[in-house]
A and B are shown apart, each in its own frame.
Chain A
Amino acid sequence: MAFQIGSSLLDACVLSILAQGDAYGYRITQQIRNIVDISESTLYPVLRRLQKDGAMESYDQPFQGRNRRYYRLTARGIELYLDYQTQWEDFKQRIDQIILAGVSTEGGTNNDQK
């Protein structure tokens, strides 16, 4: 894909995944990797930073005789997630105005980028 996912967008993705329910590192990584191409090593620093910023916290849960570290959103994280949602809507529309300026808007935007 020609477009790269930046820091804020990655934050927003992680927060959105956690908004659907608590998850652990591997699962979050795979969920994001299903959609956009990120390196597997990218996510740990992101998780750590979000934790340091107080957007989420971690807790350990036993799984098959070992620990699994789950992450969940804090109140601040939820706030941040909602903020990202509105900002994303806004951003998406602006970019659409430029990139899809020539595309007829009938039946909504149907953007298949190759």
Chain B
Amino acid sequence: MTRSEFILELAAKLEGMPENERQDALQYYEEYFDDAGPENEQAVIAELKSPAAVAARIWAGNGGKTPSAPSSAQEAEASPPKERPSAVFWVLLCLLSPIWGSLLITAAAVLLALAVTLGALLISGLLCVVVGLCHLLSDPLNGVYTFSIGLAAIGLTIMTVPGVLWLVQKGIPALPRGVRRIWDSAVRFAHQ
């Protein structure tokens, strides 16, 4: 085996590694041969054993983590690259978008409806109070009736204040946290 054959085979064995790391490793061994000099080329190749052995060490990425015994046991198969969120995960995410998308929209719609309802209740309550007061002299009975309905509406709105406050204080900060937790578990699921 010659030097260039060695480097070529090593390059092939490092396929799948991030390109810059691969280039870095290849450059290192190119330089190593350069520094050893052409007269030592065969000695270096013999010492390095095989491109597969060198690649296995680089893939393992732990250098001397395993004691550097002169055994051939370390020339095991190159370990596969570290897992990243797989393509399957992204495809699933897209395919399932009708489900989680509509759920999200529903939740937003419910919140919006609640807000509109509360707003309407408050406005109509205020209007009734004003109208009732205006009619108090000309038509006392209907005036008092309208006025009391207005008060009841305002009262109902006020009763929801603690709930709304809780939603604003706890719910809104919780939203991103919840989304992240869902995301994390989805990623973990995709890894399995």
Binding site for B on A (CB under 8 A): 4-7, 9-11, 24-27, 29, 37-49, 66-69
Contacts and interface: CB of A to CB of B under 8 A. Distances in A.
Interface of B: 21, 24-25, 27-29, 31-32, 34-36, 44, 47-49, 53-54, 57-58, 60-70
Contacts of B49: 39, 41
Contacts of B66: 7
B25 A42 contact: no
15 contacts: A5-B67, A5-B68, A7-B65, A24-B31, A24-B35, A37-B70, A38-B68, A39-B49, A41-B53, A41-B57, A45-B63, A48-B61, A66-B34, A68-B34, A69-B31
Nearest to A64: B34
Contacts, number: 90
Given A26-B31, A68-B31, A41 B48 contact: yes
A38 to B, nearest CB: 5
Given A24-B35, A26-B35, A39 B47 contact: yes
Contact of A49 (B24, B62, B68): B62
A4 B60 CA distance: 19
B54 A7 contact: no
B64 A10 contact: yes
Contacts of A68: 31, 34-35
Most chain A beta-carbon contacts within 10 A, residue among B25, B44, B63, B67: B63
Nearest to B30: A66
Given A7-B64, A7-B65, A46-B63, 9 more contacts: A7-B62, A11-B64, A25-B35, A26-B31, A26-B36, A39-B48, A41-B54, A42-B57, A66-B34
A44 B25 contact: yes
A4 B28 contact: no
A53 B49 CA distance: 28
Nearest to B46: A40
A47 B58 CA distance: 11
A44 to B, nearest CB: 5
Smallest CB-CB A-B distances: 3 pairs: A26-B35, A46-B63, A45-B63
